[in-house]
Amino acid sequence: MPKRLIQTLAIAWLLLGASTAGADELDPVTLQLKWKHQFQFAGYYAAKEKGFYRDAGLDVNIVEAAPGVDPAQEVIAGRAQFGVGTSELILNRYRGDPVVVLGVIFQHSPLSLIALSDSGIDNIHKLIGRKVMIEPSSAELFAYLLQEGFTSKAFDLQHHSLDLNDLLSGKIDAMSVYVTDELYMLKQQKRTYIQFSPRMSGIDFYGDNFFTLETELDQNPQRVKAFREASLRGWRYAMQNPDEIVQLIYDRYSQRHSIEHLQFEAKAMHDLMQPELIDPGYMNIGRWQHIAQTYRQLGLLPERFDVEAMLHFPNSAIDLKKLKIKLYYAAAGLSLLALLSVILFRFYRAARINEARLNTMFNHAPLSLIVLDDQNRIQNWNAEAEKTFLWRAEDILGKDISTIIPPADHQEVEEVLAAVHKKRAISHTENSNIKKDGSEILCEWLNAPFKDKHDQANFIICMARDITEQTRLKQKLEQAAHYDNLTKLPNRALILDLLKQSIATAARQKTKLAILFLDLNGFKAINDRLGHESGDRLLLTVAERLPQAIRECDYAGRLAGDEFLVILQDIGSLQNAQKVAGKLQGLISQPCMLKDQAVAISASIGISLYPDDAIEINELIHHADQAMYQVKQVSRSDKHSSAV
């Protein structure tokens, strides 16, 4: 055999071996879906086919479910490491199955009850005596019916056939469906229907939660982290590129649904996920507690079940930072649009181009463009302005711009426009606006002056951009980053930052500052006896009472659990701080009604003074913490002595 051929084969063999070794390095895991292949699981397909799992070192086998297959049992039995399940995972956890929820995909459950319009069932109470199919794992629907006063005998509950034709043929009167799936067939057949959602009664479950086991999380934390991050990356990609993933599912996974059906599913899922506002995977403890409470009402959970123990929140601070970065990028992109619009303004003002071309640019611009004359009457109004403010051009032309301005802002807007006319300079403002339907939105405005082609009349061209949702998202991020979700008090991060600022102020002004470290006495016993909901109510009551004992210049925040921190600025002396502590004790010890019971609680409060006790923030808190602990020990000794 020629030497060159031997060398070539040797190199090929080495490359093959290297390739095989590289493939062997991927960690094989299985994901068990809750149903058959469809767009409902788009993010996982995207993560696999776009290489996100491979980049994370995983070789993921995605297994569809057949009727009767329980994803939780597949994971518990070890046949899969990860699964997709419903909110009924709470019941698995209560039964002793060590399931852990890693993230939520649907912010709202797609499960609803439907009846055909021609059935005569135009409200939920007309289901009485009717034949109804509801899947067994539909706690939110049963809770909804219970909330509406139904008993188990109020209607004829049928075994769910998973066949929509049973409803279409009149075999049954109402059926539980996924709004992302079965409604497509009704649309195709042009059958009208009435939809009853649990949200109509305030019952709002999550849908499609991906999960693993505690053992997997404990033994393979990096694998769990890699799977979670790659899956969420896949979901972001899928919701940004739905048409591509629809085609991918149809070509590689299943043709059970047509392209049009998959597209319908993608659009319906978008409404349930709101991916532009809520990052895939996001979940809230309060919502899970609401779900657990619903199961309690159905008699499926005890009062003391701790839902928080089954939730996995990795790197929450990092995730919040990513959300902020996302918002900053969005703002940067919108700033670029604003820059382009300024160029368009100048282009419009210079206007020595063909009028037809200019009108085309104006009418099809992706921003609301409005032209005002020297009396601020609307002379031109493009298509995007029609969408934003709901006024058609023919109805708004000739009207004063104040038509879309709230009366309280009229004078301010008039002054801005007068300055544009007079100073011939571009202005950038934000103000509220009124749409034709009466709803109010917040808009960002750029207003630029220009003259007509004969340089005789003065006009203003205005660019408006609806920033209502952007502002709401920003406020939501600020709230999540700085305020406690339950009590709405400053959270640990914010109260410590306020303490740092207060110490700097006290040092600069040479004043005394006091901090009160507050811990509730007997809170755990009340929480265990009356349940977490009552415990939360008690914490909320305490949080509402704290500000009543302090001045506007002081701060109160929640550190964690039943621990609070109060900052008293320019307090003067320890005696003044002790007076405030006494007032707090009196307010906190007032009875609170929990489940028709008058419950009284007290607090142990430790005090430290700046600069008398310490000048560093950590030492100051430690001193107050130790003082609080001593107070608590004395309180326990006194109770013990009284008992003896």
- The span from the CA of 215 to the CA of 71, in Å, is 17
On whether the CB atoms of residues 59 and 89 are closer than 8 A, the answer is no
Token code pair at residue 47: 């993560």
Q: Which helix (H) or strand (E) holds 10?
A: helix 3-24
With tokens 């009167």, the residue in question is 173
- The span from the CA of 191 to the CA of 202, in Å, is 28
pLDDT at 6: 36
- The span from the CA of 139 to the CA of 298, in Å, is 8
Report which of 39, 31, 137 is spatially closest to residue 84, judged by C-alpha positions: 31
Report which of 29, 25, 28 is spatially closest to residue 81, judged by C-alpha positions: 29
pLDDT at 450: 78
Cα 333 to Cα 326, 328, 372: the distances in Å are 11, 9, 27
- At residue 507, the 3 state secondary structure works out as helix
Q: Identify the segments of the chain with pLDDT beneath 70.
A: 1-24, 277, 315-361, 452-457, 635-644
Q: What is the DSSP letter of 281?
A: B
pLDDT at 18: 39
- The span from the CA of 524 to the CA of 563, in Å, is 12
Token code pair at residue 459: 């006009």
- At residue 450, the 3 state secondary structure works out as strand
Phi, psi at 452, each rounded to 5°? -70, 175
Q: What is the DSSP letter of 589?
A: T
Count of alpha carbons within 13 Å of 388, Cβ hemisphere only?
26
pLDDT at 582: 92
Token code pair at residue 311: 């939730």
- At residue 406, the 3 state secondary structure works out as coil
Cα 259 to Cα 39, 165, 251, 282: the distances in Å are 10, 21, 10, 29
- At residue 133, the 3 state secondary structure works out as strand
Distance of CA 372 to the CA centre of its chain: 40
Distance of CA 307 to the CA centre of its chain: 19
This prediction has a pTM of 0.50
- The span from the CA of 82 to the CA of 312, in Å, is 14
Number of other residues whose CB lies within 10 A of the CB of residue 351? 14
Helix residue spans in 298-351 (DSSP H): 316-350
pLDDT at 143: 85
One-letter-per-residue 3-state SS of 53-90: HHHCCEEEEEECCCCCCCHHHHHHCCCCCEEEECCCHH
pLDDT at 562: 85
On whether the CB atoms of residues 572 and 592 are closer than 8 A, the answer is no
Radius of gyration of the chain measured on its C-alpha atoms: 31
Q: How far apart are the first and last CA of the chain?
A: 101
On whether the CB atoms of residues 348 and 461 are closer than 8 A, the answer is yes
Helix, strand, coil percentages for the chain (3-state, nearest 5): 50, 20, 30
- The span from the CA of 422 to the CA of 419, in Å, is 5
- Long-range (24+ apart) CB contacts under 8 A made by 24-28 are 25/57, 26/54, 26/57, 26/58, 26/59, 27/57, 27/58, 27/59, 27/223, 28/58, 28/59, 28/61
Residues 6+ positions from 284 with CB-CB distance below 8 Å: 485
Report which of 295, 268, 249 is spatially closest to residue 195, judged by C-alpha positions: 268
pLDDT at 263: 95
On whether the CB atoms of residues 515 and 621 are closer than 8 A, the answer is yes
Sign of CA dihedral 327, 332, 334, 335: positive
**What per-residue string of b and e applies to 138-158 under the rule 16 or more CB within 10 Å gives b?**
bbbbbbbbbbeebeeebbeeb
pLDDT at 343: 55
On whether the CB atoms of residues 461 and 369 are closer than 8 A, the answer is yes
pLDDT at 454: 55
Q: Is the peptide bond before 611 cis (omega within 30 degrees of 0)?
A: yes
